[in-house]
Structure 1
Amino acid sequence: MHSDRGGQYCGNVYRQLLHDHQTVRSQSRRGDCYDNAQAESLWSRLKTEVLEVRERPVFADLADAQRSVADYFDYYNHERRHSRIDYQTMYHSHQQLTTLSTLNCPA
């Protein structure tokens, strides 16, 4: 589980919860705000493109929230074009990288 160095992620209760679920903890390096850049960008887009355009209450219940976030992730990865990767979708860009890695991998 990767996170920044926020207090809630460094606390004993959170660390014990991860330990209890055999989850490896990973944190950004101290003072390096770019470690989480991709994740922060995704959450920023989700907030801007989904949450801020909805009326309050934002979700009817937990199931609605889970469905909405899953739908957004699907859109973000498979439909939304990203300027940073020449206006391709994340999925398409990843597929190209996977193909290149496979082709360049020594046998």
Structure 2
Amino acid sequence: MARAGSCFDNAVAESFFATLKTEIGTAVEDTRDDARRDVSAYLGYYNHDRLHSTLGYRTPHETRISYRHGLALAA
């Protein structure tokens, strides 16, 4: 781990968790299973349905597939 304020800090993860809290909300779930289900459903939405402007308005899944496909063609 780098020191706070360096370019190597965990800004991407912090940004993701801020988005998670904003989009799911901060409601308290009745059980851990309920919380896990909600977070798992959100991760499916985030990776397969939610468009990201920094990825050219594609999903992370589409970006990952196109990256892998490009590597296979280059090899």
Q: TM-score, normalised by structure 1?
A: 0.61
Task: Tell me the equivalent position of 2:64.
Answer: 94
Q: Structure 1: which 5+ residue stretches go unaligned?
A: 1-26
Larger proportion of strand: 1
Residue type of the alignment partner of 2:25: L
How many residue pairs are counted as aligned between the two chains? 74
Residues 40-95 of structure 1, C-alpha deviations (whole Å, 9 max, x = no match): 2211110000024x4xxx21110000000010011000000001011101100111
Task: Tell me the equivalent position of 1:19.
Answer: none
- Larger Rg: 1 or 2? 1
Identity of aligned residues (%): 39
Match of 2:6 among 8, 32, 47: 32
SS in 1 for 2:34: helix
Q: Within 2, Cα distance between the matches of 1:69 and 1:101? A: 31
Q: TM-score, normalised by structure 2?
A: 0.84
2:17 corresponds to 1:43: yes
RMSD (Å), alpha carbons: 1.6
Q: Structure 2: which 5+ residue stretches go unaligned?
A: none
